[in-house]
Amino acid sequence: MSTATTVMSTQEIANRLVELCQKGDFEGAQNELFAEDCVSIEPYATPEFQQETHGLEAIKEKSAKWASMVEAYHELKVGQPVVGTNSFAVTMFLDVTMKGKGRMAMTELCVYQTKDGKVIAEQFFM
């Protein structure tokens, strides 16, 4: 008996990522959709974050650090994906209050690359 595994298409990955992120389940999206050797690229380095983060565990640590800096989430909107063969992009709007820094709203363009049914890279643009 064959136990073939179905590899998700880029469209399926994009739809699932949007579904999870709209619920604020970023860790669930990473656990389910990201490759172990994925890369995350921020628009620029800050004292808190490097510009590039390599590996799923390091990316999850970066996400946890970001979450620890947020005092309150006021609004989160994730746009519908624009999908290519091995990549997709979504807009993400966040309205948050940062601990000690006040409230801020930002919209990012989030671009993801896929390979073999997993996200292998994410890059954020302001």
Per-residue pLDDT tens over the stretch 49-107:
899 999 999 999 999 999 999 999 999 999 999 999 999 999 999 999 999 999 999 99
Residue 2 maps to a domain: no
Q: How far apart are CA 81 and CA 118, in angstroms?
A: 16
**Farthest-apart Cα atoms in the chain, separation:** 58
The distance from CA 98 to its chain's CA centroid, rounded to whole angstroms, is 19
Residue 7 per-residue DSSP state: P
Residue 63 maps to a domain: yes
DSSP 86-102: SEEEEEEEEEEEETTTE
Per-residue pLDDT tens over the stretch 17-48:
999 999 999 999 999 999 999 999 999 888 88
CATH number of the domain at 104, please.
3.10.450.50
The Cβ of residue 13 has, within 10 Å, a number of other Cβ atoms equal to 23
Residue 20 maps to a domain: yes
Rounded to two decimals, what is the model's pTM?
Answer: 0.91
Number of domains in the chain: 1
Residue 70 maps to a domain: yes
